[in-house]
Structure 1
Amino acid sequence: MEKASPFQATWSWRAFIACHLLALVLLLLWLWAPTRAAIDLFDYSLFHALNAPLATNDTWRDIFAVASTRPFDALVGLLLLGLLIRGDWIFKATQVRAASFGLIATMLVLVVVRVLYAKLAHHMDWQHDSISTFAPDAVHLAQYFPSWNGTFHEIKDQSARSFPGDHASVLLAWALFLTLFARTALQWVVIWGLALLLMLPRLVAGAHWGQDDYIGGVQMALVALAWSCFTPFVAWASGGLIRLTDPLFDLLAKIPLLNRLSVVSA
């Protein structure tokens, strides 16, 4: 019979250590003055290339105004979840439920990492304002849509604490998690194409520097992945959640349409 869980309740020490070492290397490169200067210069160039078209291109401006709101973040969450629970894409249909709970466990670890890292960044004075507050030629999306301010779809184009990039860390953790089980080049392209594309809105609007994502976001995702997927935790948490929710899924399996979903029928 096909194994119902894609996880193994063992320590993967090499991968565990590699994730922490890579996160540490990224941090040291960011803290070292010569590489930090190069990173800052690259980020200014990246921001100008992405942000400047907002002033002249109405379509570019409208797309990223919508993509920089909380409701769009919710739609992104549904998209990522939909790809995860699609049976026989990354995971076999019989493994989708276990995989879904495994990702939830990984995201819970990410929340803990995010809180601890934010406290460390504050204590070490690593925090900084958004790049949109530094760049003199920054185009602020909120100025083009003033009626959106103070509403549930307020545009996020600046922050007083933009490091590390928590939005990017979620996308990167999702991408890394699925990459562990991807089997084809096409799956890799879809996973990482989506992750990078969905990271763009915050970068275009200037809510984050690039380094908030490819330094801070990557670090948090790597550490979260290490403590969830390369330890017994994800197998333990996934199995426990499956047992806990079995009665609920037994009820859902009796509902038409819902019972066609792999995450329910399995």
Structure 2
Amino acid sequence: MNRQAGLYVAPLLGALIALSWSLLPGHGAWAHWDMGIFSGFNALIAEPGPWRLILAIINHRLFDLVSLSCMLAMLLTLFVRSDAQGRARWVAIALLMVVTALLLNRIGHLIPIERASPTLSMPGALRLTTLIDFPTKDAAGDSFPGDHGLMLMIFAAFMLRFAPRWMGALACLIVVIFTLPRIMVGAYWFTDIYMGSLSLCLILLPWLLLTPLCERAMSWLTPPMASLLGRIEHQTS
């Protein structure tokens, strides 16, 4: 799919995903998926054993550093493999990514939809924090849209736009791997991420990444980043 087609197809798909949740009676199939996924994983938590400890560890706040490290490692790989101009461009891409993430996260929280995570809204739901000896992320007072998933999806979108195809595919896989733990413990509904975060990214990101606005931003950011890297290299040589 070329960029021009993607500029229209991606927002249309995002709008259809959002409408399929908001307009269908009882949220349609999304509600069934939410309940089925949460009930299945919550039943697993009820079973004693190492499973609980593993889930607690991968949902601890410190474990978020693992996903951050994966993203930084990918960016560093692209940075190191590039020439001087390419390195400045990747620093500019990283900066643009951070600004975009902050803006989309703010927009996401302005959406007039508030709902608590499954562990706080479902009667009888088991919370992992009551079954282990240390705190972990197993609940959210307002889990829509899933901000954790939103950040990962923004990263994946930038990788699909600027990085080699294999790295874009790897970034998409990272989204699945690192959003799954939050869903498994009931800190987020499935739809918080794969309807809320995904539709937001599909609707808004193409207008940055698939239009001339992106290249204009890059042409504005890259020269000062090249100058900065040049000064750093000069001072360290």
Under TM normalisation by the shorter chain, which class is it? 0.7 to 0.9
Percentage identity across paired residues of the two chains: 23
TM-score (norm 1): 0.75
TM-score (norm 2): 0.83
Q: Alignment partner of 2:137: what SS?
A: coil
- Give the match for residue 130 of structure 2: 143
- Equivalent of 1:179, from 139, 160, 164? 160
Structure 1 unaligned blocks of 5 or more: 1-11, 149-154, 260-266
Q: Does 1:170 align with 2:151?
A: yes
Aligned equivalents of 1:49, 1:134: Cα separation in 2: 16
Q: Does 1:133 align with 2:120?
A: yes
Counting helix residues as a fraction of each chain, which structure ranks higher? 2
- Give the match for residue 92 of structure 2: 101
- Equivalent of 2:215, from 235, 250, 258? 235
Q: Does 1:53 align with 2:33?
A: no
Deviation, 1:213, is 0.4
Deviation, 1:251, is 4.6
The answer (yes or no) to whether the contact 1:142–1:157 under 8 Å persists in 2 is yes
Q: Alignment partner of 1:85: what SS?
A: helix
Distance 1:107 1:247, change over 3 A: closer
Q: When the two structures are aligned, how many residues end up with a matched partner? A: 233
Deviation, 1:28, is 0.7
Deviation, 1:142, is 1.6
Letter in 2 for 1:62: L
Deviation, 1:198, is 0.5
Report the aligned-residue RMSD: 2.8
What are the equivalent positions in structure 2 for 1:145-160 lying under 5 Å apart?
145=132, 147-148=134-135, 155-160=136-141
Q: Does 1:32 align with 2:19?
A: no
- Equivalent of 1:221, from 177, 195, 201? 201
- Give the match for residue 151 of structure 1: none
Q: Alignment partner of 2:188: what SS?
A: coil
Letter in 1 for 2:100: V
Aligned equivalents of 1:223, 1:253: Cα separation in 2: 40
Q: Alignment partner of 1:156: what SS?
A: coil
- Give the match for residue 212 of structure 1: 192
